[in-house]
Each structure stands twice: as structure tokens, then as C-alpha cells.
Chain A
Amino acid sequence: MKQSGFKARFGIAVVIVVGILSAARLGATMDAERTPLGESATKTLFSAEKMRGAVLGLDGLIADIYWMRSLQYIGAKIVAAGTEVNIDDLRGLEANELHPLLDASTTLDPHFLAPYSYGAVVLPAIDPQKAVELAEKGIRNNPGEWRLYQHLGFIHWRLGRFSEASATYRRGSEIDGAPPFMGLMAARLSDEGGSPAVARQMYLDVINNTSDVQIKSIASRRILEIDRSEGAR
């Protein structure tokens, strides 16, 4: 009796272990066999506008998921590229879904500032017009946030539109709580928009005003490049 009980327990334990191990092995095999979905897999499946309110008030959480997905999307693209990427021109990465992902995130939570900041630094190298659209959307949704004016001014400056950049910085400097450098940059941009000194200052301001490690890294690399080209002269 005792022995048959032991046998039964042993049999069940064997089935559990074998079952889990087989499932794990088969799962890995199926993963390897499956054809990748490609670009469409990263697309925003539903319109973020329609999703608002349809997720029982959990819009912010879905916005976070889109935000994290956009970081992973660019990270995966850079890793897949393998070689050193040119941070001033990322069109080669074909990261066409970055704007829809950031746009979905900010549609679900229009006051979520991180996607606007990320878009301002990365999007101009992929699709400058979309970068401007995202920054302008941020300002429309958060007119009291001076940082968004800094982002839009930064995009204009990167595109060589110095007078627009200066005007945007000036508008941002008029907002309550805006730091003095906004006004100073407005003046410097109109006087010496394309100079390396201004470029250096622009990237320094980006570093000082973001908590995103990836953005800090991109801006730091850009400063190093400016210093290197200045040293070579």
C-alpha cells in the first residue's frame, strides 16, 4: 500500500518534470522556427486616440508600455545595425515606427514629458518634420512647460533654422520658472546660431535637463565630436 503510494507520487513528479522540460524545449524550437513578424509587429495595433478611455482609465500604464517599447525599438535597431551609427543621421536605421510609438504614448498621456524629450533628441536624425510635430504637440498639451520650448528650439537649431530656434527659446524664457539660460540661448542663437560654442552649450543643456541615460550618452558623444573637430582646427 505504502509502496503503491510512493509509486503514484513518483509517477506524478515524473510527469510534471518531463512535461515542463518538454514544453520549454518545444517552446524554444517553435520560437526559432517562427518567421519574424518584422516591422509590422512594432506598429501601434490600435489608434491611441480610440484607445483613450477604452482602457478603463489605465491610459497612463499603456502610455508607459509604448514609451518603453520605443526605447527598446531604437536600441534593437542600433544593435542590429552592428556598426558605429551616425547620430546626426539615423535614416539608415529605418526606424519608421519611432514617431508612431512616441505619438501613441503622448496621445494616451499628453502630459508625459519623457517621450517629447526623447523625440527631440532622436527624431530629428530620422524624420525632422515629425520631430517638430511631436514637440509642437507637447507645447500644445503642456503650454506651461519651458522644457518643451527648449526641445523645439533644439530641433530648429539642429535643422539650421536659427531664427526660429531663437524665437522658440525666447517664448520658453517667458514662462514662469524658466531658467536664465533660456533667455541667454535665445540671444546667442540669433547672434551666432551655427557656431561650435553654441552647439556645445545646446548639448550641455540637454545633458543637464534630462534623466534619460540614452539621451545623456548621445549628447555627450556629440560634445566630444565638437571638441575633437575644434581641436583639429
Chain B
Amino acid sequence: MNYDWARRPDATRESMLTRIWIIATNTFREAVRDRILYNLVVFALLIIAASVLIGDLSGGQEARIITNLGLAATFIFGISIAIFVGVSLISKEIDKRTVFAIFAKPVGRGEFIVGRFFGLVVTLLLNIAVMGCGVIAVSMVIGDGSLTRGIAQASLMIFFEVTVVTAIAVLFSSFSSPALSALLSFLIVVIGHFSGTLAMIAERTSDGFSRTLLYGIYYLFPNLSNFTFISEVAGGRDVPVSMMLNGLLYAASYSAAMVAIAVMIFRRRNFK
């Protein structure tokens, strides 16, 4: 990561937000340089191929199937980027020793973590927005365009979920190796989609300790199943506005907490 502090003579007087902004924009540029946005080409090919091939196989359900497939691909690409790029955000800087050069500048460890997080979130926002527009375009060509609003809403919910996953990946990245961080983040995604089942099991458990433990896990782990509205949207139903607002607030709160823990750990970390 090559920060351009030298061109800023008043760097020491930059506000914290400006420093975070600089790190975030550099993280975004780095993602573009690392060809992360190339997944959009794969996505485009997938959607185009599916729209051509599915016609004869779908029994008149082309728009529904393309919507399901397109949003599922958006979800999978988004989660994959959040995990695999997120876990290397911090460790890469430490391995390449560039972290020392960064902290020699007037930038705090917390600002570094927050900036890196926002940089990846912006990259994901761009990615998901482009993929969502792609699904909308194909569904308008194949269908009657009635799914447009739902697809936009479901894409936004996927972005909220991916933001939470990015925060989790950054948290693991702040103290663990990339491989272990990726594994743990993936497990959290899986558990997060089972949170409804966890609550159900907790409710049916008679043993007090197990019940408390299960409820503890239920509240501690992210409830990611509430962000997935792919099936509903493909079936022609919109995402309720209240769910979107709560999703936004949930993603903001949970991500803030995870990034704050990451900052806390990173500030105590010894790089020697």
C-alpha cells in the first residue's frame, strides 16, 4: 500500500476522518489494481450464458430463474470477496512490512483498521451495485421488468450482509493468519445463516446451562439469515421497508462492534 502522505505538507494536521478517507481510497485503488473487479466479467459471462441456456429448460420461468441465479451469484461473489480480501487486509501489510512505513506517518492504528475496512466496503458496494444492475437488465430483457425494485432491494440487503462479513474478516485478520481467518469467517457465515435454528433449539432445551449457552451464541453471532431475500424477490415479492431499515441498522451496529474489537486488538499487537 503506497500512501501519498509526502504530497500533503499539512499531513499532521489532517483530521482523523481525512486520514481514514485516504487509507480507504488507497485500499479501493489497491483492490482495483489487484484485479478484484475482474469477478464482474465472470459474473457477466455467467448471466449471459444462463439467460441463453435457460430458455428451453425453465418452463416459462426464465425471469424467476435468472433472478435467483443472478442474486445467488451476487451473494456468493460478495461473500467470497469479503472473506478472502478481508482476511488479508491487515496481514498483507504486516507481512510486507509496509505497516511500519504507514505508522511512521501521522496515522493511528485504529484509523488504519477503519480505513482498510471502509475501503473494502466501498469496493464491495461497487461490485454488488454493478452485479445488481446486471441482474435487473437481464430480467428486464427476459421478463416484464416487474422484479426490478425487488432485485435492487435484495442487492442492498446482500450488501448489508457482506458488510457484516467484511467486519468479521477484518476482526480475525487483526490477530490471526489469513488461512485461519478465512476458515473462521466462513464458519461464522454458516452459523449466521443457522441462527434461527439455534434460537429454536435453545427454546426447546430444558437444561438451563445449555439454553443460556445457545441463546448466548444466538445473540453473539450475526443473524445473517435475515439479510437473504433472494427467493422472495424472485417470486415477485418486495423486501419490506422495515426489514431494510433494520438490516441497515443491524449491519452498522454489528460491523461497528466488530471493527472496534479489531481496533482494540490491533492497538495492543506487537509487530516484532
A153–B72 Cα distance when bound, in Å, is: 36
Which 8 interchain pairs have the tightest Cβ spacing? A57-B228, A60-B231, A211-B60, A61-B68, A212-B59, A60-B68, A61-B72, A212-B60
Q: Does B262 contact A (CB under 8 A)?
A: no
Give per-residue flags for B62-76: 1 if the beta carbon is below 8 A from chain A beta carbons, else 0.
001100110010010
B contact residues around A118 at 8 Å (CB): 59
Q: Does A96 contact B (CB under 8 A)?
A: no
10 interchain pairs, CB-CB under 8 A: A57-B228, A57-B231, A58-B72, A61-B68, A64-B65, A112-B235, A114-B61, A114-B64, A210-B60, A213-B59
A contact residues around B227 at 8 Å (CB): 57
Contact count band on B: 20 to 34
A contact residues around B235 at 8 Å (CB): 60, 109, 111-112
When C-beta atoms are compared, the residue in chain A nearest to B158 turns out to be: A57
A contact residues around B193 at 8 Å (CB): 53, 56-57
Q: Does A123 contact B (CB under 8 A)?
A: no
A contact residues around B65 at 8 Å (CB): 64, 68
B interface majority secondary structure: helix
Whether B59 lies near A111 (C-beta < 8 A) is no
Q: Does A71 contact B (CB under 8 A)?
A: yes
Q: Does B177 contact A (CB under 8 A)?
A: no
B contact residues around A56 at 8 Å (CB): 75, 189-190, 193, 228
A68–B193 Cα distance when bound, in Å, is: 26
When C-beta atoms are compared, the residue in chain A nearest to B62 turns out to be: A211
Q: Does A162 contact B (CB under 8 A)?
A: no
A60–B65 Cα distance when bound, in Å, is: 9
**Which of A53, A61, A71, A214 is in CB contact (< 8 Å) with B196?**
A53
Whether B197 lies near A53 (C-beta < 8 A) is yes
**Which of A61, A71, A108, A114 is in CB contact (< 8 Å) with B57?**
A71
Whether B57 lies near A72 (C-beta < 8 A) is yes
A210–B230 Cα distance when bound, in Å, is: 24
